[in-house]
């Protein structure tokens, strides 16, 4: 066990004047071979640290709280209360246990009504779980247009669509990165010369920093997903830029150097 294959707890960092905190909801497991079809035992033998005892990746699930003075924004809203046992018939995910998002938000000093909006990287269930608790919702227009099912009906009249480059909160801009979903969005946080990119699900594991060309089974457009990862790795090859990978076990905050992930803390 190491930080590369354990669940993340609350962690806070600063980006200039912005205070940025991971809000844990819980943890899931991604099956390494099923999530990344085409990878081989040799590929994974080079990255044993990220695997648990069942050769799965440990995926932290939650959201990112961004505070500027008294103001607060959330990027993604966790999975909600989910308790799903491992099902061998599921080729992509294993056991999932989530539900602690609001308690952790409270531990960080915020109730939902003290968060001015939730900005979504995309609308998969593990990013929208607690959305009905919040007042205002920011979603990339193509993501909203391609949403599935009725689970977002409850917030539909409180959704505002956003576009590439929009500043949605002081120092926070939209970076369109379609691939995982049609309207997938990363967010660039910038303040006093420091930058941090919230990667969303452009990346699910730090190993993809070294292997942006690995196909992801659940990317809606696999070629676009690869293109988005290559572009982000280039963007991160910069001394003043850090990144946040929401599903990166307990190595969520870090930097890219020499095409590899270097966690902070
Ligand atoms: Zn996700």
E strands, 32-92, are: 56-68, 71-75, 82-84
The pLDDT of residue 151:
78
pLDDT greater than 80 at residue 55 = yes
Superfamily of 3-155+163-258 according to CATH: Ribonuclease Z/Hydroxyacylglutathione hydrolase-like (3.60.15.10)
Spacing, Cα 126 to ligand 1 middle (Å): 5
Q: Is the pTM of this model over 0.85?
A: yes
Spacing, Cα 111 to ligand 1 middle (Å): 23
Q: Which two tokens stand for residue 184?
A: 């997938």
Count CB-CB contacts under 10 A for residue 175. 20
Spacing, Cα 12 to ligand 1 middle (Å): 20
Spacing, Cα 22 to ligand 1 middle (Å): 14
Residues 13-41 have a mean pLDDT of 97
The pLDDT of residue 148:
76
Spacing, Cα 19 to ligand 1 middle (Å): 23
pLDDT greater than 80 at residue 149 = no
From the number of C-beta atoms within 10 Å of its C-beta (0-12, 13-18, 19+), residue 15 rates as buried
Residues 125-151 have a mean pLDDT of 93
pLDDT greater than 90 at residue 154 = no
Confidence of residue 44 (pLDDT cuts 50, 70, 90): very high
The pLDDT of residue 179:
98
pLDDT greater than 80 at residue 78 = yes
Spacing, Cα 127 to ligand 1 middle (Å): 6
């Amino acid at each position: 066990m190491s930080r590369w294959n354990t669940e993340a707890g609350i962690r806070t960092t600063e980006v200039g004047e912005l205070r940025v905190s991971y809000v844990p909801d819980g943890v899931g497991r991604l099956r390494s071979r099923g999530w990344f079809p085409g990878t081989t035992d040799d590929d994974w033998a080079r990255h044993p640290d990220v695997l648990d005892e069942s050769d799965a990746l440990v995926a932290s699930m939650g959201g990112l709280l961004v505070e500027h003075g008294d103001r607060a924004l959330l990027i993604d809203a966790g999975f909600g209360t989910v308790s799903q046992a491992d099902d061998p018939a599921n080729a992509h995910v294993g056991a999932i246990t989530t539900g602690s998002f609001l308690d952790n938000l409270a531990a960080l000093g915020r109730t939902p009504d003290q968060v001015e909006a939730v900005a979504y990287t995309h609308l998969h269930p593990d990013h929208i779980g607690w959305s009905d608790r919040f007042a205002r919702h920011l979603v990339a227009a193509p993501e909203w247009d391609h949403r599935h099912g009725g689970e977002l009906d409850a917030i539909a009249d409180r959704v505002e669509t956003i576009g590439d480059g929009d500043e949605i909160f002081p120092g926070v801009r939209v970076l369109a990165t379609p691939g995982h979903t049609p309207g997938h969005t990363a967010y660039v946080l910038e303040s006093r010369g420091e930058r941090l990119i919230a990667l969303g699900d452009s990346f699910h594991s730090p190993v993809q920093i070294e292997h942006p060309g690995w196909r992801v089974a659940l990317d809606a457009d696999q070629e676009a997903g690869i293109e988005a990862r290559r572009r982000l790795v280039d963007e991160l090859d910069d001394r003043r830029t850090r990144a946040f990978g929401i599903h990166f076990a307990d190595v969520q905050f870090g930097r890219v150097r020499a095409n590899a992930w270097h966690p902070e803390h």
